[in-house]
Amino acid sequence: MTTSLNTQFGIKGHLGFIEDASGLVVAKIDNDQGSASLCLQGAHLMTWQPRNQKTPVVWLSKDAKLAAGKSIRGGAPVCWPWFGAHPVESAFPGHGYARTVPWRVVESGIEPCGATRLSLRLVASDKTREQWPHECNVDLTVIVGETLRMELTTENTGDNDFVIGEALHTYFQIGDIGTVSVSGLEGCEYWDKVGGSSLKRQQGAIGFSGETDRVYINTAAECVIHDEMLKRRIHVAKSGSLSTVVWTPWVEKANKMGDLGQPDGWREMLCVESANALDNQVKVAAGTRHTLIVEYRAVSL
């Protein structure tokens, strides 16, 4: 499997494919601007570290395991075609099925700036159609360099409009959750999912002292993670997205989840997710396409 992938899409000095012990295929990207890894199942970017950073920018749990049909803890999970629990079918997987099914490589190349480009398409099946009966193409393009750009495109190739929820549910590596803050969402309304669900408005920058699980709505704003310990800022720019989800599980939920790297791996991660969720779900009219784009940049202080 990887031989044909390397023949067709491999790029010397940029991109190669390996088979993991789990049997899943992983794309390894390594160029003079940065490195990344991406599991073809779920088009799941797992790691990213630009050359100008001593510490990875995208976090992957020490407990992360690759297994067929299972989500991977960390990286940038693709949540699609719904965000959170399915609105009707409680048996359907949380955050949709896209991150646990096969995707196939459709293109690779080198950008004019020298970054590595890789594009994948979700492989529809009887199983996926049981959960999502609409004809569509779902593509993810990642561009790995000094910045990380990801483009998630939904093309409605059917005759009927449909509505999706989606997110690039990215885990960022931080020094310690107690010494970071997030700016950019000041004044935005958000659904606070801790202890029920209530609509609130953000006052000032976001600091963390407990479980935080918020869906900020109606915002296209760029966010910045200010990290005192790692002496850097991480810029989270986006387009085609009107929701931003900010999440840290804190200690109790982290211990229940059990896969964030014991004893306190949860302290070194923070999710800032670019999404279209809740009030911001997207109608994709028949014959049209919608793209959610993120671009991450780490700046040392």
Catalytic residues, by residue number, are: 169, 273
Strand order in the sheet with 25-30: 15-19, 25-30, 34-39, 44-50
Exactly one of 166, 227, 268, 273 binds ligand TA6 (CB under 6 A); that residue is 273
Binding mask 209-248 for ligand TA6 (x = CB under 6 A): ----x-------------------------------x-x-
Exactly one of 86, 149, 169, 267 binds ligand TA6 (CB under 6 A); that residue is 169
Question: What is the Cα–Cα distance from 2 to 15, expressed in whole angstroms?
Answer: 12
Q: Which residue has the tokens 């594009």?
A: 119
Site for ligand TA6 in 69-108 (CB under 6 A): 71, 84, 94-95
CB of 253 to ligand TA6, least distance (A): 8
Between 70 and 290, CB nearer to ligand TA6:
70
CB of 88 to ligand TA6, least distance (A): 18
Kindly state whether residue 166 participates in binding ligand TA6, applying the rule CB under 6 A.
no
Question: What is the Cα–Cα distance from 113 to 103, expressed in whole angstroms?
Answer: 27
Between 271 and 282, CB nearer to ligand TA6:
271
CB of 277 to ligand TA6, least distance (A): 9
- Cis status of the peptide bond prior to 263, with omega within 30 of 0: yes
CB of 271 to ligand TA6, least distance (A): 6
**Residues 6 or more apart in contact with residue 24 via CB below 8 angstroms:** 39, 40, 41, 66, 67, 68
Query: What distances in angstroms separate CA 1 from CA 40, 82, 104, 206, one per listed residue?
Result: 12, 31, 11, 45
Alpha-carbon dihedral angle through residues 155, 161, 165, 167, given to the nearest 10 degrees: 10
Site for ligand TA6 in 21-80 (CB under 6 A): 71
Structure tokens at 38: 């991406």
Enumerate binding residues for ligand TA6 (CB under 6 A).
71, 84, 94-95, 169, 213, 245, 247, 271, 273
